[in-house]
Amino acid sequence: MSHFSSSTGMVQSANTPARLPWFALLALAMTGFICILTETIPAGLLPLIGEGLHVTKAMAGQLVTLYAIGSLVAAIPFAMFTSGYRRRPLLISIIVGFLVFNTITALSTSYALTLLARFFAGVAAGAAWGMIAGYARRMVPDVLRGRALAVAMVGTPIALTFGVPVGTLLGDLIGWRAVFGLMSLLTLVLIVWVLWKVPDYPGQSAEQRMTVGQVFVLPGIRPILMVVLTWMLAHNILYTYISPFLEPSGLEGNVDLVLLVFGLTALVSIWIVGLLVDRMLRLLVLVSLLGFALVASVLWVGAALESIVYSAVALWGLTFGGAATLLQTALADASGEEGVDVVMPINTTVWNLAIAGGGIAGGALLEIVGVQSFPGVLLILLLVALIIAWSAKRHGFPRK
């Protein structure tokens, strides 16, 4: 299928050189970076935010909750409503949303107004995650689609690995409001970058558009979404409660170092997956799930030993870094060109359900049973994901 670019009037066809449009894809990665940074930065600044807004830390923590709710409720409706719109103006509008709502957060002295701004920042994030994958895949020939998606997703582990710690450090130095102000400045740079380097594409005509129901029943979609739910639920139980989980090993004071190890190996994982995803998607998914199951098994018996914890966390990062690329590539392949802009918001919704579910389930396990229950629960979830992925050999995660 050819797409016209309004900026050049040229046709992107099968004759497109087999190389990646790096600057355009990195602009999408920067969009993802700002999404993740906007979502997670309050976690490192809770005491400062609470003090600035004259609320408790728990109330300040609701800035994260409202953002997640915004992403959860907006992803699918926004995608359905805007599927006919041209892609670049829509992306610019979403980025402007981050600019506006992060600026309000930086300036607001009202807790209620700040929560409202966080909710709408979450709406912008849900909209962004719904279109980044489809946008990246439209920029390249079929043989490079997985690799393009890997580049477009690289902003996520970078934000988690470096953005949050640096933002927390800056918060201590210049104040939490200035940190949100800096994110607004980054967003201004991104708007110019997108206008300069990201090509425009038309939206889908009414005849091309698929409904959520039509996409949901396509062969392979439901197994992939079940793998998304179980895999991300396992990940978020451990990630959300990593601090109490580290207490038996005496590493609870080194959470930043543990998460740095996780983030660095996650970056390596994205690089490996980017190179191989277009040829070995099924194998990479199965190996990643097996590796994470091995992590759970090792932590079950060795969570009190510092060296084992660090080794397990390094392997955990290797199994997780490329997960978004693998799962979104599988969904895009299963949904086809007509369904990709609908299936990605569904994926965003399921992903956010897993984040919320990880927080709820992990909290319940922590209170009722204790952290020693985490590895066993993770192992069950990962074995379910592995069985589903293994069984989806015709559709979903097909043999090539």
Domains of the chain, first to last: 17-197 (1.20.1250.20), 212-391 (1.20.1250.20)
Which of the four pLDDT bands, split at 50, 70 and 90, describes residue 206?
low
How far apart, in Å, are the Cα atoms of 316 and each of 41, 269, 272? 22, 10, 15
Q: What is the mean pLDDT of the chain?
A: 88
User: How do residues 329-378 score in pLDDT, each as one tens digit?
Assistant: 999 899 887 788 889 889 988 988 888 888 888 888 988 998 899 999 99
Please report, as a single letter, which amino acid is at residue 87. Answer: R
Please report, as a single letter, which amino acid is at residue 242. Answer: I
The answer to whether residues 394 and 333 touch, using CB atoms and an 8 Å cutoff, is no
Residue 225's CB is within 10 A of a number of other CB atoms, namely 23
Report how far residue 396's alpha carbon sits from residue 219's, in angstroms, rounded to the nearest whole number: 7
Residues in the chain: 400
Report how far residue 253's alpha carbon sits from residue 200's, in angstroms, rounded to the nearest whole number: 47
Beta strand pairing status for 3-4 and 11-12?
Answer: antiparallel
Report how far residue 125's alpha carbon sits from residue 121's, in angstroms, rounded to the nearest whole number: 6
Q: Which of 238, 240, 228, 370 is nearest to 312 (CA)?
A: 238
The answer to whether residues 305 and 90 touch, using CB atoms and an 8 Å cutoff, is no
Report how far residue 354's alpha carbon sits from residue 364's, in angstroms, rounded to the nearest whole number: 15
> In angstroms, what is the C-alpha Rg of the chain?
21
Residue 2 has pLDDT above 60, yes or no: no
What is the pLDDT at residue 257? 86
The predicted model gives 24-43 an average pLDDT of: 91
The predicted model gives 19-29 an average pLDDT of: 94
**Comparing 54 with 158, which gets the higher pLDDT?**
54
Q: Which of 137, 7, 28 is nearest to 91 (CA)?
A: 28
Phi-psi region of 175 (alpha: psi -120 to 50; beta: other; left: phi over 0): left
Which of the four pLDDT bands, split at 50, 70 and 90, describes residue 8?
very low
**Which residues touch 235 (CB under 8 Å, ≥6 apart)?**
292, 320, 323, 354, 358
Residue 15 has pLDDT above 70, yes or no: no
Q: Which helix (H) or strand (E) holds 396?
A: none
Please report, as a single letter, which amino acid is at residue 153. Answer: M
What is the pLDDT at residue 72? 86
- Mark 327-366 as b/e (b = at least 16 C-beta within 10 Å): bbbbbbbbbeebbbbbbbbbbbbbbbbbbbebbebbeebb
How far apart, in Å, are the Cα atoms of 88 and each of 107, 199, 248? 29, 7, 50
Q: How far is CA 260 from the centre of its chain?
A: 17
Report how far residue 29's alpha carbon sits from residue 190's, in angstroms, rounded to the nearest whole number: 10
The answer to whether residues 264 and 317 touch, using CB atoms and an 8 Å cutoff, is yes
How far apart, in Å, are the Cα atoms of 136 and each of 14, 182, 231? 16, 26, 24
pTM of the model: 0.82
The answer to whether residues 216 and 334 touch, using CB atoms and an 8 Å cutoff, is no
| DSSP reduced 3-state for 19 | coil
Q: Which of 332, 360, 359, 326 is nearest to 345 (CA)?
A: 332
- Mark 184-210 as b/e (b = at least 16 C-beta within 10 Å): bebbeebbebbeeebbbbeebeeeebb
Q: Which two tokens stand for residue 267?
A: 């970056």
The predicted model gives 16-26 an average pLDDT of: 82
The answer to whether residues 73 and 120 touch, using CB atoms and an 8 Å cutoff, is no
